A and B are shown apart, each in its own frame.
Chain A
Amino acid sequence: MRLVILTIFCLLLAGTAGVAAYFLPVVVAGVGQTGQTVVVPPSNSPGGKATPTPNAAPGAPFTVLLLGSDDDGKNKSPLTQSMILVRVDPVGKHVTMLSIPRDLWVPLSTGGSAKIDAAYAIGGPVAAIATVERNFHVHIDEYAWVGLTGLIKLIDLLGGVDVFVTNPVLDDAYPDDINGGFLYGYKTVAVLPGAQHLDGAHALQYVRSRHNDINGDFGRSARQQEVLLAMKVKASTLNAADLPDIVSALNGKFKTSMGLDRVRSLLGVANAFDLANVKQIVLYAGLYTSYDHGAAYGGASVIIPHWSQILAVTRENFP
């Protein structure tokens, strides 16, 4: 009897060791990249929303700020080329996505005013979250940041994404900065319209190109949402056994405040959502005024928000 118990114990021990070895990369990444602590200080600005508020309870709707950076080394601290607010309602199985234009000229939580993409560069995720919360009057529960190469690797890991490209994306000055070499080099790219299967590099071209889009950064925002939804379709087929590969692909190019439990549960949530229940919002003309190289804005091309109209959109979609 003792021998049987001992045998079972040893096998359990060996099995546990096998499981531990399999998920070791996940645990290491979990310590380093997930569960990042973010404490957003209360706002001092008049009219600003006081934060933080308690994070969403399990099962309750929660809001994630997705941040994407060209961490190619041009800037000491990377700007966020992509900022997307995502509200997930696990019970209602509804997702709302709102792209925030990177050229939006806003008061930063760290003081002064600048384009909103500078918030992350100046103050990291805390400043990015606080700046979005105070300007858009929303509460953000979590954030996730991914760098360029992380996005490429993740999409490649998923076997590519399928998107319907609405119009030709031609860019004569696409940054040629991914594979080393001159950081300010550029090249021509062409992504053709129609249903396309894009690998990581081509998907990045699709979401990063901005020079020949009549809608400028707004068109790019719409493309980013398309690829995000295509990734969601692929992610719906993932399971916990895929986590080590995902972690390996995103090594050092991904940070999030979400703990492993929430990341894992999100995989399940992604599986349950129907694309018909995803609402995509891009702030198009009428909600802003563009200024090119305005002296008041340091010579930069900026977008001055019409807050009353924008806040009406956020109030409706991010209650």
Chain B
Amino acid sequence: MAAGPKILIVDDEIVVIKSARRVLEGEGYNVEGALGGREALLKIEQNGYNLVFTDLKMPEVDGITLIRWIRKNRPSTGIVIITGYPSQDTIKEALGLGIIDYVPKPFTPAVLLDVTRRAVQWLEGEKSEEAKVDEEFPPAMAAELDRAVHEYRDKPGALIPVLQRAQEIVGFLPPAVQKRIGRGLNIPPAEVHSVVSFYSFFTMKPRGDHNIRVCLGTACYVRGIEGVLGKIKDALHIDIGDTTGDKKFSLEGVRCLGACGLAPVMVVDQETFGSMTPKKALKILGRYAPAFVEPGPPEEIEETVEKEG
């Protein structure tokens, strides 16, 4: 554990520290927390950290003061800000002080991990992930993105439609795509990122060949979607928001598909399946990738399924 980069999370809410620790420690980072700027100063003075995540609005010693102190006394420490107020001015000020990145609050584990990974890479002087993706952009895709930007550029409120289009084009919204859109629409990357991370429709992870969307609405809950979801998770060995190793399937939970009459419901790509049971779910997945359940004729699959329940 100790081999990983040392990270300090500074926030006046214990919940933020706890949840960030839970996420980052799971990935092997060495994480500590400080409840406020004063405690952070003392800890950094004594221990030294590779990376500091800090809130901006805190009583006594606030985030900006802390960042100034770190830049002066521990210039090699990387800084990422966590903020529930992603207003242009505060972020600009923080950027001026040399922060690496920022995490809008509330954040998802995926966003936090992503930001952390990039920040660590930046610190280690490696080529950042986004630079890599930018180079690997097929030119056609880039042109298509630019066209979407161009089409909406003069319309008010262009960002969300452009992002929706970009996600259609690329399949997901990696930082390079967000940057390119930001540049095209003349919107700071931080603002683009704040929108991407806010809406559940947007994803920063690539989806699989077949995207499974499981309805987590009330009617589906009452009629037992949990069992269906559990079965799918077990069969594919992935959690909600993940993609299988072979990129065959990705799994998403959606709020409500509005097809409550057929509850429990799941959608694979564009096709809706109603009155699901765990058994039926496996059968349907088998249709898209017969190999993943159990090789053999369909009857055998049925039997296997029955044994598994």
Is B truly associated with A?
no
